[in-house]
Amino acid sequence: MSSPAQPLAASLVQSVDWLAIAPPTIAAVVALAVLVADLFVAEHRKALLGWTSVAGLAAATLMLLPLLDGDRSTFCLTGDAAVCSYTADRFTLVIQFLVLGGALLAALLSVTALKDARKALPEGEYWFLLLSSAAGAALLPASRDLATLIVALEVASLPAFALVGLKYGDRKSSEAALKFFLSSVTATAVSLLGISFLYASTGTLYLTQLADRVQDVDGQLHTLADTGVVLTLVGFAFKTAAVPFHFWVPDTYVGAPLPIAAYLSVIGKAVGFSGLILVTVVALPSYADVWGPALAALAALTMTVGNVGALRQQATRAYSAVRLLAWSSVGQAGYLLVPIAAAAYSGDAEKSIGSTVAYALMYGAVNLGAFAVAALVGRTKTLNRVADYRGLYASNPLSALLLAFFLLCLAGLPPGIIGLFAKVTVFSAAVDAGLGWLAVIMAVNVVIALFYYLQWTALLFRAAPEGEAAPHRIPAPLTAALAVTGVLGVALSGAPQLVLRFTDTGLF
C-alpha cells in the first residue's frame, strides 16, 4: 500500500543538469581537494597545491565551451519548468568567463606571491579560500532566485575577508580585513532584510515570478514591498563599492596581498554588478522609476569621487600605486553603473546591459594586467609607490610598455582602442536613454582620469634614479599573466566589435 506522501515526494525529485553547473562545481571540488591534500603534502612540495588550483580554474573555464550551444536550466519548479533557480544563458556564461578567467589570472599572480611570502601566507588555506570564492562568484550570475543569489554572494564574499587578513602578524592586513568584513556584513544584513520584505509581500523568491507579482501587491503590503526594493538596492550598492559605500576599498586593497587586491578589483566588481543587474532589470523592471534615478545619481557620484580620489594620490606616498588603482576602480565602478541606470529609461534594456558587460570585460583584462605589473615591481619595491615606476622602461622595457598600454586602455586613449570603444559604448547608452546630464558628467570624469593615467605613464619613460636601472627578473607565472592580459588587450583593440558580439546577454 503506497502512502499519499510517495507521489508527492516523487514529484519533487528532479534531475540535475551537471553540465550546466559544471564550472562552479569544478572550482568547489578542487577547493576541497586542495584543502585535504594540504594535510598530506610535504612542506617543500606545497607549490603543487598552487598549480593544482590553477589547473582547476582552467578546467572550470574550459567547461564553459560546451554550454555555448544553447540556454540550459536546472533546479526548476516541478509545476513550472520555466521557473528555475539556475540558468546558464549567454549573460551567465559571459560573467562566468570573466569571473573564472580573472580568478585564473589572480591565481597565476598568487603562485609567485606565495613563494615570495616565505611562509607568511599559509598555502593550503589560501588556495582553498580563493577557489571557494571563485565558485561562489561563478554561481551568482546563474542564480535566478533571491535565496540562491544571496548564498552565492556570501560564498564569494566570506572567503575574501579571510584572504585579505591571512598574512601572519600583519597589522595593516588585519585592519583591512576588518573594514572589508564590517562593510560587507552590513550590506548583507540590509539586503536580507529587503529580500525578506519582498518575499513577505509577493510570496516568491524567483526573479521572474517576482517581476510579475510585485506589480499586483495588495494595498496593505505596498509600503512593505517598496521598502524591500529600496533596502535590496542599498545592499547591492555596498557590494559594488558605489559611493558613499566605497570607504573600505583603498585600505582593503593596500592591506590585502596584491593578487587578492587584483581579484577584488575585477571579480568582486563582477559579482556585485551581475547581482545588481539581476535584481533590477530581471526582478524589478516595474520599479525602474525608483532604481533608474537612484543608480544614475550613484553613477555620477561614484565616478567623480573615485577619480578625484585617484587624482589626489601623491607619487611618493607608501603604496600610492595600489591606492591609485583602488581609487581608479571606484571611478570605473561609476562608469559600469551608467548603462544599468540607462536600462530604466531605454526601450532596449538588453543593449544597455550589454554595454555594462562589455565594459566589465575590457576593464577586467586591462586592470588585472596593471596589477600584474604592480606585482612585478612590488617584488623589489615593497612600498609600491608610483614614484618607484620611474624609469621602468630602462630596466624592463616590455613591462613598461605593457603597463603604459593598460593605463591608456583605462584612460580610453589610443593605442588602447578597446578602452575607448568601451567608454563610447557606455556613453552612447546614456545618450540613447536620454541621460544627457550623466553623459556630460562622465565626459568630465574621463578628462580628470586622463591626467593621473598619463602622469603615471610618462613616469615610466623618464630617466631612472641613479643606480636603479637593474633589470627585473620575471617569474614564469607572472610572465604568463602579463602575456595573457597583454594579448587580450591588443587583440580586442584590433577588433573591438568582438566584445559587443560576445556580450549579447540573452537575459530577456
**Mean pLDDT to the nearest integer, 248-269:** 90
What are the C-alpha distances in Å from 72 to residues 29, 93, 360? Answer: 21, 11, 24
Minimum mean pLDDT range among 8-12, 239-243, 306-310, 335-339: 8-12
pLDDT per position as a tens digit, 204-227: 889 888 988 888 888 788 888 889
For the cut 60, the answer to whether the pLDDT of residue 332 exceeds it is yes
CB-based contacts of 424, cutoff 8 Å, min separation 6: none
Give the length of the chain.
508
Q: What pLDDT was estimated at residue 464?
A: 72
166 in a structural domain = no
% of residues, the chain, pLDDT over 90: 40
* Structural contact between residues 472 and 379, judged by C-beta atoms closer than 8 angstroms: yes
Q: What pLDDT was estimated at residue 106?
A: 94
Nearest-angstrom CA–CA distance, 147 and 98: 23
- Beta pairing partners, 143: 86
The DSSP annotation for 117-161 comes to HTTSS-HHHHHHHHHHHHHHHHHGGGB-BHHHHHHHHHHHHHHHH
pLDDT per position as a tens digit, 60-109: 999 999 988 878 888 888 767 778 889 988 889 999 999 999 999 999 99
**Cell triple for residue 53?**
588550483
Higher pLDDT, 495 or 446: 446
CB atoms within 10 A of CB 214: 22
144 in a structural domain = no
Confidence of residue 10 (pLDDT cuts 50, 70, 90): very low
- The three-point CA angle 452-419-503 to 5° equals 145
* Structural contact between residues 148 and 139, judged by C-beta atoms closer than 8 angstroms: yes
Report helix angle 417-432 to 476-494, nearest 10.
50
- What global pTM score does this model have? 0.92
Domain, as residue range, for 428 = 286-508
For the cut 80, the answer to whether the pLDDT of residue 285 exceeds it is yes
Q: What pLDDT was estimated at residue 502?
A: 65
For the cut 50, the answer to whether the pLDDT of residue 271 exceeds it is yes
425 in a structural domain = yes
Higher pLDDT, 423 or 474: 423
432 in a structural domain = yes
Nearest-angstrom CA–CA distance, 131 and 133: 5
CB-based contacts of 153, cutoff 8 Å, min separation 6: 136, 140, 188, 191, 239, 271, 275
Q: What pLDDT was estimated at residue 468?
A: 57
Nearest-angstrom CA–CA distance, 105 and 266: 11
Nearest-angstrom CA–CA distance, 376 and 452: 21
280 in a structural domain = no
Query: What is the rounded average pLDDT for all residues in the chain?
Result: 87
For the cut 80, the answer to whether the pLDDT of residue 12 exceeds it is no
Contacts for 29-33 with beta carbons within 8 Å, 24 or more apart? 29/56, 30/55, 30/56, 30/57, 30/59, 30/60, 30/131, 31/56, 31/127, 31/128, 31/131, 31/132, 31/135, 32/128
For the cut 70, the answer to whether the pLDDT of residue 198 exceeds it is yes
- The three-point CA angle 385-478-249 to 5° equals 45
* End-to-end CA separation in angstroms for the chain: 47
Q: Where are the alpha helices (DSSP H) in 315-384?
A: 320-342, 349-378
* Structural contact between residues 400 and 461, judged by C-beta atoms closer than 8 angstroms: yes
Handedness of CA 319, 325, 328, 332 (dihedral sign): negative
373 closest CA partner among 456, 491, 309: 456
For the cut 90, the answer to whether the pLDDT of residue 392 exceeds it is no
For the cut 70, the answer to whether the pLDDT of residue 40 exceeds it is yes
pLDDT per position as a tens digit, 150-194: 999 999 999 998 999 888 777 888 888 888 888 888 888 989 999
**Mean pLDDT to the nearest integer, 253-272:** 90
For the cut 90, the answer to whether the pLDDT of residue 445 exceeds it is yes
**Mean pLDDT to the nearest integer, 231-252:** 85
Higher pLDDT, 499 or 13: 499
Q: Residue 293: in which H helix or E strand, if any?
A: helix 288-311
What are the C-alpha distances in Å from 4 to residues 13, 80, 407? Answer: 15, 22, 66
For the cut 70, the answer to whether the pLDDT of residue 321 exceeds it is yes
386 in a structural domain = yes
Total tally of structural domains belonging to the chain: 1
One-letter identity of residue 116: D
Phi, psi of 74 (to 5 degrees): -150, 170
pLDDT per position as a tens digit, 450-508: 999 999 999 998 877 765 555 667 888 888 999 999 998 888 887 777 776 666 655 55
pLDDT per position as a tens digit, 105-131: 999 999 988 888 777 788 889 999 999
Residue with cell 612542506: 43
**Cell triple for residue 102?**
580573472
Q: Residue 8: in which H helix or E strand, if any?
A: helix 5-12
How is residue 18 annotated by DSSP? Answer: T
**Cell triple for residue 34?**
586542495
116 in a structural domain = no
154 in a structural domain = no
pLDDT per position as a tens digit, 366-379: 999 999 999 988 88
What are the C-alpha distances in Å from 311 to residues 242, 252, 265, 403, 452? Answer: 18, 19, 18, 18, 6
